[in-house]
């Protein structure tokens, strides 16, 4: 933790902030850290994890429905439908980890998929 002195804070704003911290059972430092973290992370892309399932089939619309990138992990069989193209894949798939079998459409190359993958037993390209 860093000790910080902040000058020039409006007295009324500080009083309300301190009261809010007390109301929530937090120190002013804890609440300040939360506010700073929220401010810094506000534009950070969201990341989602899909994991620990047997089988999933993912379409372009599934990926497009997410407002951030998706990581897939610990899945027996992960299949990307024919409508998933490279542009969508690279914008929406963050990583593929610990998958027994990844089934991909002809629109994706094995190397494109493997560039985002780790610990994959097999990549099968559908015809």
Considering the domain boundaries, does residue 31 fall inside one? yes
- Whether residue 26 is found in the same domain as residue 80: no
The number of distinct structural domains making up the chain is 2
- Whether residue 36 is found in the same domain as residue 51: no
Q: Is the confidence at residue 9, as pLDDT, over 80?
A: yes
- Residue 50 contacts by C-beta under 8 Å, 6 or more apart in sequence? 56, 70, 71, 72, 73, 75
CA 83-127-122 angle, to 5 degrees, is 90
Separation of alpha carbons 42 and 70, rounded Å: 18
- Whether residue 26 is found in the same domain as residue 63: no
CA 104-97-101 angle, to 5 degrees, is 40
- Whether residue 18 is found in the same domain as residue 34: yes
Helices 28-41 and 11-23: crossing angle, nearest 10°?
A: 100
Say which range, 28-32, 54-58, 82-86, 97-101, has the weakest mean pLDDT.
28-32
Q: What is the token pair recorded at 24? A: 């929530």
Give residue 94's domain range.
46-125
- Whether residue 71 is found in the same domain as residue 52: yes
- Whether residue 85 is found in the same domain as residue 115: yes
Query: Against a cut of 0.75, is the pTM above it?
Result: no
- Whether residue 91 is found in the same domain as residue 106: yes
- Whether residue 81 is found in the same domain as residue 36: no
Residue 70: φ, ψ to 5°: -120, 135
Considering the domain boundaries, does residue 1 fall inside one? no
Q: Is the confidence at residue 77, as pLDDT, over 80?
A: yes
Q: Is the Cβ–Cβ distance between 56 and 76 less than 8 Å?
A: no
- Whether residue 55 is found in the same domain as residue 95: yes
């Amino acid at each position: 933790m860093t000790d910080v002195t902040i000058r020039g804070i409006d007295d009324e704003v500080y009083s309300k902030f301190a009261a809010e911290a007390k109301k929530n059972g937090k120190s002013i430092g804890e609440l300040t850290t939360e506010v700073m973290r929220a401010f810094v992370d506000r534009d950070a892309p969201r990341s989602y994890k899909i994991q620990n399932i047997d089988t999933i089939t993912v379409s372009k619309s599934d990926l497009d429905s997410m407002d951030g990138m998706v990581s897939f992990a610990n899945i027996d069989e992960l299949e990307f439908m024919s409508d998933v193209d490279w542009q969508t894949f690279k914008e929406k798939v963050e990583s593929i980890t610990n998958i027994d079998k990844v089934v991909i459409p002809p629109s994706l190359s094995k190397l494109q998929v493997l560039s985002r993958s780790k610990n994959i037993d097999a990549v099968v390209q559908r015809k």
